[in-house]
């Protein structure tokens, strides 16, 4: 029975993760854009934001999305899951147009349509996968990536302007890549197994560092650059690892379909990256001012 419904269920989990992250994006942009700009990358930013209701709600959604993300990673190729999750920007755009009354231009609706079409093609071309136990090289690579995220993230916090947003966005994307790759290698989600699995700790460390870097980058106001850098890194890097290291593949004779879907989903996400600027700018307007 699971073999029959495993792929549709996992695809639904990936879409659910995108929805949760998409709604969370709006709430986090509102919260990050309305608090004092932090000098450097510092955990106290999260402590300050934790007292704000939009941010607290976004954390709850992120946790639900994270659980759905892990579920999808256990039975789908990394390139499918990451491209699907990147479509959370389409959710952000549609939600912002309704809640914040931002009008989507024709090109933005086209980007939403491209992302949706890309997901449909990915669903048509994907096959079922199983968790792959991490080889020693993969485990070492994950921890090296965590160290790089920590070092580069805190160093980037000293930069300013465009360089700060671009580097922090890329570093955040690398951290989220660690989460995706580590999640793909968890052969069991039982607490007794996770406690003794070093990749679970790499996943947690990468996720926390990535989230902190991303929030810090959002404070620059350059949401487009930050989001684009993060989306490209966290989508392409894990997909490459999945294909080269884990043997992720498509259904027989469906490589072109899946490849086209991946490209459309990522292109749609990148085209919508700029919508975050409008979300953050609108969240700063006084009540009653349009």
pLDDT tens per residue across span 242-271: 989 888 888 888 889 999 999 999 888 888
Q: Is residue 73 part of a domain?
A: yes
- 228 near 273, Cβ under 8 Å? yes
In DSSP terms, which residues pair with 18 in a beta bridge? Answer: none
Q: Is residue 196 part of a domain?
A: yes
Q: According to the model, what pLDDT value does residue 55 have?
A: 81
Predicted TM-score of the model (pTM): 0.81
Mean pLDDT of 202-213: 93
Alpha-carbon distance values, 71 to 6, 66, 232, 244, 284 (Å): 10, 9, 22, 22, 36
Q: According to the model, what pLDDT value does residue 221 have?
A: 65
Under the banding of pLDDT at 50, 70 and 90, the label for residue 1 is: very low
Q: At what angle do helices 161-185 and 136-156 cross, to 10 degrees?
A: 160
Q: Is residue 244 part of a domain?
A: yes
Q: Is residue 41 part of a domain?
A: yes
- 180 near 82, Cβ under 8 Å? yes
Q: What range does the domain containing 221 cover? A: 2-283
Q: Is residue 46 part of a domain?
A: yes
Share of the chain above pLDDT 90, in %: 34
Per-residue tokens: 13: 């989990």
User: CA angle, corner 56, sides to 151 and 175, nearest 5?
Assistant: 25
Alpha-carbon distance values, 247 to 39, 207, 224 (Å): 42, 24, 33
φ/ψ bin of 129: left (φ > 0), alpha (ψ from -120 to 50), beta (otherwise): beta
Q: According to the model, what pLDDT value does residue 274 have?
A: 63
Mean pLDDT of 110-132: 86
| Helical H segments across 100-135, by residue range | 106-125
Residue 126 φ then ψ, to 5°: -90, 150
User: Greater confidence, 28 or 162?
Assistant: 162
Q: Is residue 289 part of a domain?
A: no
Q: Is residue 276 part of a domain?
A: yes
DSSP for residue 228: H
Number of domains in the chain: 1
Q: Is residue 290 part of a domain?
A: no
Q: In this structure, is the dihedral angle defined by the CA atoms of residues 249, 138, 237 and 66, taken in order, positive or negative?
A: positive
Under the banding of pLDDT at 50, 70 and 90, the label for residue 171 is: very high
Q: Is the pLDDT of residue 52 over 90?
A: no
Mean pLDDT of 78-86: 91
Q: Is the pLDDT of residue 205 over 90?
A: yes
In DSSP terms, which residues pair with 126 in a beta bridge? Answer: 250
């Amino acid at each position: 029975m699971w073999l029959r419904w495993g792929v549709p269920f996992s695809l639904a989990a990936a879409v659910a993760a995108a929805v949760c992250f998409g709604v969370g994006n709006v709430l986090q942009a509102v919260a990050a854009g309305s608090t004092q700009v932090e000098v450097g990358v510092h955990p106290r930013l999260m402590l300050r934001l934790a007292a704000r209701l939009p941010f607290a709600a976004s954390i709850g959604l992120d946790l639900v999305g994270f659980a759905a993300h892990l579920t999808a990673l256990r039975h789908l190729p990394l390139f499918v899951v990451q491209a699907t999750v990147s479509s959370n920007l389409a959710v952000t755009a549609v939600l912002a147009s309704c809640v914040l009354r931002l009008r989507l231009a024709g090109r933005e609706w086209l980007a939403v349509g491209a992302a949706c079409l890309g997901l449909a093609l990915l669903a048509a071309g994907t096959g079922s996968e199983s968790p792959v136990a991490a080889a020693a090289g993969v485990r070492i690579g994950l921890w090296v990536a965590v160290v790089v995220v920590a070092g580069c993230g805190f160093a980037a916090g000293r930069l300013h302007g465009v360089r700060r947003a671009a580097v922090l966005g890329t570093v955040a994307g690398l951290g989220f890549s660690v989460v995706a790759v580590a999640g793909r290698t968890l052969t069991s989600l039982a607490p007794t197994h996770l406690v003794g699995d070093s990749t679970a700790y790499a996943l947690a460390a990468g996720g926390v560092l990535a989230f902190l870097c991303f929030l810090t980058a959002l404070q620059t106001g350059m949401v487009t650059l930050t989001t684009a850098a993060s989306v490209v890194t966290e989508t392409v890097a894990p997909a490459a690892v999945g294909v080269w290291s884990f043997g992720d593949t498509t259904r027989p004779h469906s490589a072109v379909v899946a490849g086209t879907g991946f490209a459309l989903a990522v292109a749609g996400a990148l085209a919508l990256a700029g919508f975050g600027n409008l979300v953050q700018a609108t969240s700063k307007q006084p009540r009653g001012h349009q």
